[in-house]
Amino acid sequence: MYKFSLVFLSALALLLGSISTSFSKVEGDTIILGAAVSLTGKYSTNGKHTKNGYELAVKRINGRAAKVQVGGKDYKFKIIYYDDESNAGRAAQLAEKLIKQDGVKYMLGPYSSGLTKAIAPVTEENKIPMVEANGASRSLFTKGYKYLFAVLSAANQYLEVAIDLAVEKNGGKPVNIAMAFEQDAFSQDVRLGIVDAAKRTGSKIIIDDKLPKELNDMAATLAKVKATKPDVLVVSGHSKGALTAIRQISEMKVDVPMLAMTHCDASKLAKQHGEKSEYALCAAQWHKTLSYRDKYFGSGKKFDKDFTAEYGYAPPYQAAESAAALLVWKDAFERANSFDTEKVRDALAATDMQTFYGNIKFSDAGQNIAKPMVLFQVICDGDKCENKVVAPTEWASAELIHPAPAWSER
Amino acid sequence: MVQASLDGILLGVLFALIAYGMALQWGVMNIINIAQGELVIMGGYIAYFMYTAGIHPALGIIVSPIIMYFVGWFLYKTVIYKVVDRDLFISILATFGISILTQQLMNFIFGADVVVAQSNFGTTMLFDNSVTLPNAKIFSALVSIIFAIALVMYMKKSRLGRAIRATAQNSRAAKILGVDTEKVYAATFGINAALCGVAGSLIAITFTLHPYVGLPYTVRSFMIVIVAGLGNLPGVALSGMGLGVFEEFADYILGTEFRIGSVFMLLVFILVYRRFKLSRKREYLK
């Protein structure tokens, strides 16, 4: 009898569980979104930026009189978070859990290309639309995914602008490029962008180093740069690459007219290296001085102010793009005027809007094709170093300083 | 060429210091410490912490080993004492656990940002500015050499040093003759951690710090010790420098992507050559 009742009870629990989950995509007046974000592990800093961006946007949308209007009714957003421990395997597991157990029908992306790559097959298989804001790797958009939408520009677009700029400053003549990229999906995508730009402009790549992931030392690459004197040096290797490059370039006094990098924002380059990082060019998805506008956050500057007031630090672009993902969801729900995942997916695919973060319009592959990357330059005034936008020219808040002065003159 | 050789030597000396500690405790306690790199990074964070408090990070070479000695001593008293004299595999598992724990702990305390400490030591220029050597690296090499020499002297002259050497040769005999081997083991592990502390604070001013970058340092010191052989401290210094120079040259000539691969190729070559030499010796003995 005891055994029987145990079996009966567990069957009942399972049944109830499945009933409750099948309705949990929208509970009462709340639309539930799911996200696996790195709250611990090596991506925990950027995971925190991602979560804060999501949270601020939810707060802003829920705080308005007209929240998310579907079928003439007002709905709030709520996000279920899990910590993926910066681990791809765990992220995929959690995506399964969110979809299968929590019954989530609408997903937000994790932090980093690697984790997004791990989650995308799961959301695709279950036909669950995902709006992601932190996976820029080109390979995400070549697999024919139908339910993946990325609000950010792809990795190969990061530093193309820098090469164009160098050619322009060289009187339209091709330049010599030296480059060092870490051997990971993201950095190698950035590299492909440079290779394309070199082909397009007829420029020559004279150094093409691939930095091992565990590498802490770029001295040999920089010795080559000193010997060959290229016009542009391009470095990408996440925060570690950016900090190592500036440390060793300044210590070895490597003179190069243009130094272009990624992850200056995330590594707090201007703060950690100060004047040593001056004149470095950095690619960014967003900058607060850009003139985009929307009705939720107003402008980039307003977002910067609100975010700083809420979390006590200035928002890096990772937070801005994460907030933009929520605005895309709201817009798609309202246009679909339904909670049917297929209808919402189609509405997402037809997105064409402006947010404080930039214009958003998706290609068939789900990539945002309406927003260019920006380049800023670290410019110091005494001890205070700031990132100033120098390209594209329509948003530039400062003139590009080129060529960078030699170390002997600094 | 000169640049690559000098860079290699300066890098190698620093790695040799980490390998010194590993050789010492491997030789004495027969433990392969997978957490070696994490101890280094922890030492580095102590220097970084001083830097954020407004103290020059180079002073970390004094403060960090003192704190790290006690960290090492504590680790011995809580975990390591259970695995001394046991199967090597168990010690690898135990220290692997320590390495994961310390990584997460550092992540929790210091955050997952990559950080650097500024020494502002400047640069030495040689040969009409064609060769540039960061003074921070020269400082690191000098400090490493001083600590290495001090360690050798200490091992030779002091009472504890003699006890450590006796225990390494035959722990049972040492015990019978009145050496408190427990104490010796704790001190050895503490000295190893202290050396890691010195190396860590040097890394804070020459490279970058992150809670998860310890493993390359473990692997590198492991390799240096294998090449040099246990209990061969001058050999450790030489093999450290040799590997450093070889690495820089491989990078300079073949490209950065071949850097680590070529070092491992060299390791395989050395091991095969050693085996070959050994087998010839054995035949002779027959």
Q: Which residue has the tokens 């006590």?
A: A312
Backbone angles phi, psi at B123, to 5 degrees: -135, 145
**Helical ranges in A132-280 per DSSP H:** 160-169, 185-201, 219-228, 238-251, 269-273
Q: Examine the pLDDT at A19 and tell me if it is beyond 60.
A: no
Q: Please list every residue in chain A whose beta carbon sits closer than 8 Å to the beta carbon of residue B256.
A: 180, 209-212, 215, 218, 220-221
> Using CA atoms, how far apart are residues A134 and A110, in angstroms rounded to an integer?
7
- Tell me whether residues A220 and B11 touch, CB distance under 8 A: no
Look at residue B280 and tell me if it is in a domain: no
CB B138 within 8 A of CB B231: no
Give the closest of B107, B216, B252 to A40, CB-based: B107
Q: What pLDDT does residue A10 have? A: 60
Q: Which residues of A touch B (CB under 8 A)?
A: 40-45, 180, 183, 208-212, 214-221, 223-224, 226, 238-240, 243-244, 247-248, 251-253, 267-268, 272-274
Total structural domains within chain B = 1
**Is residue A4 very low, low, confident or very high in pLDDT (cuts 50, 70, 90)?**
low
CB contact under 8 A, B257 and A183: yes
Interface check for B255 against chain A (CB to CB < 8 A): the answer is yes
CB contact under 8 A, A43 and B112: yes
Please, are residues B36 and B23 in contact by the beta-carbon 8 Å criterion? no
Q: Which domains does chain A have, with CATH numbers?
A: 20-153+289-361 (3.40.50.2300), 157-284+373-409 (3.40.50.2300)
Residue B238 lies in a domain: yes
A70 Cβ partners below 8 Å, 6+ apart?
A333, A334, A336, A337, A338, A339
**Residue B58 carries which side chain, given as an amino acid letter?**
A
Q: What is the mean pLDDT of residues B155-161?
A: 90
Closest-CA residue of A relative to B212 is A42
CATH number of the domain at B211, please: 1.10.3470
Domain carrying residue B125:
2-257
Q: How far is B84 from chain A (nearest CA, A)?
A: 30
Query: Can you give the pLDDT at residue B237?
Result: 85
The mean pLDDT of A68-78, rounded to a whole number, is: 91
Question: For residue A14, with 0-12 CB atoms within 10 Å meaning exposed, 13-18 middle and 19 or more buried, which class applies?
Answer: exposed
Is residue B97, in this structure, part of any structural domain at all?
yes
pLDDT for A21: 41
- Predicted confidence band at B284 (pLDDT cuts at 50, 70, 90)? low
Q: What is the mean pLDDT of chain B?
A: 87
pLDDT at A18: 46
In a domain, B246, yes or no: yes
Q: Chain A: residue nearest B101 by CA?
A: A41
> A6: pLDDT confidence band, cut at 50, 70 and 90?
low
How confident is the model at residue A9, as a pLDDT? 59
Rounded percentage of chain B residues whose pLDDT exceeds 70: 97
Chain A residue whose CA is closest to B248: A220
Q: Is A322 exposed, middle or buried (0-12, 13-18, 19+ CB in 10 A)?
A: buried
ipTM of the complex: 0.82
Residues in chain A with CB shorter than 8 Å from the CB of B118 are 273-274
Q: What is the mean pLDDT of residues B27-52?
A: 91
pLDDT at B132: 83
Which residue matches tokens 């205070």? Answer: A384
Specify if B198 maps to a domain: yes
Q: Picking from A11-15, A343-347, A377-381, B101-105, which range would have the lowest pLDDT averaged per residue?
A: A11-15
Q: In the predicted model, is pLDDT for residue A114 greater than 60? A: yes
Which chain A residues touch B107 with a CB distance below 8 Å?
40-42, 44
CA-CA distance, A254 to A45, in Å (whole number)?
31
Pair A150, A321: CB distance under 8 Å: no
Helix H, strand E, coil C: the string for B151-193 is HHHHHHHCHHHHHHHHHHHCHHHHHHCCCCHHHHHHHHHHHHH
Closest A-chain CA to B121: A251
Report CB contact under 8 Å: B211, A42: yes
Does residue B277 belong to any structural domain of this protein?
Answer: no
DSSP state letter for A314: P
Tokens of residue B277, six digits: 């030499």
pLDDT for res B45: 94
Chain B nearest-CA distance from A223, in A, is: 7
- Do residues B240 and A267 lie in contact, with contact meaning Cβ atoms separated by under 8 Å? no
- Is residue B215 classed exposed, middle or buried when 0-12, 13-18 and 19+ CB atoms within 10 A define those classes? middle
* pLDDT at position A256 over 50: yes
Query: Interhelix angle for A317-336 vs A341-349, to 10°?
Result: 120
Domain assignment present for residue B140? The answer is yes
Instruction: Give B46 to chain A, closest Cα distance, Å.
Output: 17
Q: Residue A202, Cα to own-chain centre: how many angstroms?
A: 30
- Closest Cβ–Cβ partner in A40, A238, A251 for B136: A251
